[in-house]
Amino acid sequence: MTETRVRFAPSPTGFFHIGSARTALFNWLYARHTGGTFVLRIEDTDQERNRPEFLQIIYNSMRWLGMDWDEGPEIGGDYGPYFQSERGEIYQRYLDKLKEAGRTYLKDGALYFRLEGERYTEYDEYLKAEVEKVKAAPVEIDDAIRGKVVRAESRDFVICRADGSPTFHFVNVVDDIEMKITHVVRGEDHLSNTSKHVELFHAFGAPVPQYAHLPLILKDPQDGKGKMSKRDRGALIEEYQERHFLPAAVRNYLALLGWSPKDDREKMDIGEIIEKFELKDIQKGAARFDEKKMAHLNQEYLKELPVETYAWHARPVLTEAGLIAEDADEDYLQRVLALCQEKVDALQNLPSFTRYFFSEDYPKDEKAKAKLLKKGAPKQRLAEVHAALSQLSDEQWEDEAINQAFMDLAQAHGQEKPFQWWPITRFAVSGTTSGPDFVPMLTVLGRERVLARVQRFHDQLEG
Instruction: Give the whole-angstrom CA distance, residue 305 versus residue 267.
Output: 13
C-beta of 10 vs 435, nearer to ligand GLU: 10
Segment near ligand GLU (CB under 6 A), from 6-14, 228-236, 269-277, 317-325? 6-14
Phi first, then psi: give them for residue 370, nearest 5 degrees.
-55, -40
C-beta of 104 vs 172, nearer to ligand GLU: 172
Torsion angle, alpha carbons of 219, 225, 230, 236, to 10 = -20
Q: Can the peptide bond before residue 81 be classed as cis, meaning omega within 30 degrees of 0? A: yes
Instruction: Give the whole-angstrom CA distance, residue 184 versus residue 7.
Output: 7
6, 18, 43, 442: which one binds ligand GLU (CB under 6 A): 43
Which uninterrupted H or E stretch holds 140? strand 139-143
Q: Calculate the alpha carbon distances from 49 to 44, 52, 57, 166, 193 in Å.
A: 9, 10, 15, 16, 21
C-beta of 24 vs 137, nearer to ligand GLU: 24
Minimal distance, residue 121 CB to ligand GLU, in Å: 26
Contacts of 399 (CB under 8 A, 6+ apart): 439, 440, 443
Segment near ligand GLU (CB under 6 A), from 5-13, 72-80, 150-158, 309-317? 5-13
Handedness of CA 407, 412, 418, 423 (dihedral sign): negative
Segment near ligand GLU (CB under 6 A), from 3-11, 148-156, 296-304, 410-418? 3-11
- Contact between 418 and 406 (Cβ < 8 Å): yes
201 contacts ligand GLU (rule: CB under 6 A): no
C-beta of 83 vs 422, nearer to ligand GLU: 83
3-state secondary structure of 37: strand
Nearest to 147 by CA among 253, 282, 5: 282
186 contacts ligand GLU (rule: CB under 6 A): yes
Active-site option among 99, 107, 128, 230: 230
Minimal distance, residue 368 CB to ligand GLU, in Å: 52
Phi first, then psi: give them for residue 154, nearest 5 degrees.
-100, -10
45 contacts ligand GLU (rule: CB under 6 A): no
DSSP 253-273: HHHTSSB--TT------HHHH
Minimal distance, residue 319 CB to ligand GLU, in Å: 36
22 contacts ligand GLU (rule: CB under 6 A): no
Helix axis angle, 330-340 to 350-358, nearest 10°: 130
C-beta of 172 vs 430, nearer to ligand GLU: 172
- How many of the chain's residues bind ligand GLU (CB under 6 A)? 8
C-beta of 189 vs 269, nearer to ligand GLU: 189
10 contacts ligand GLU (rule: CB under 6 A): yes
Instruction: Give the whole-angstrom CA distance, residue 131 versus residue 141.
Output: 18
6, 9, 228, 424: which one binds ligand GLU (CB under 6 A): 9
Q: Count of H helices and E strands in the chain? A: 19, 11
4, 5, 6, 11: which one binds ligand GLU (CB under 6 A): 11
194 contacts ligand GLU (rule: CB under 6 A): no
190 contacts ligand GLU (rule: CB under 6 A): yes
Query: Is there a catalytic annotation at residue 99?
Result: no
Minimal distance, residue 58 CB to ligand GLU, in Å: 10
Minimal distance, residue 247 CB to ligand GLU, in Å: 22
3-state secondary structure of 130: helix
C-beta of 187 vs 446, nearer to ligand GLU: 187
The residues annotated as belonging to the active site are 230
* Binding residues for ligand GLU (CB under 6 A): 9-11, 43, 172, 184, 186, 190
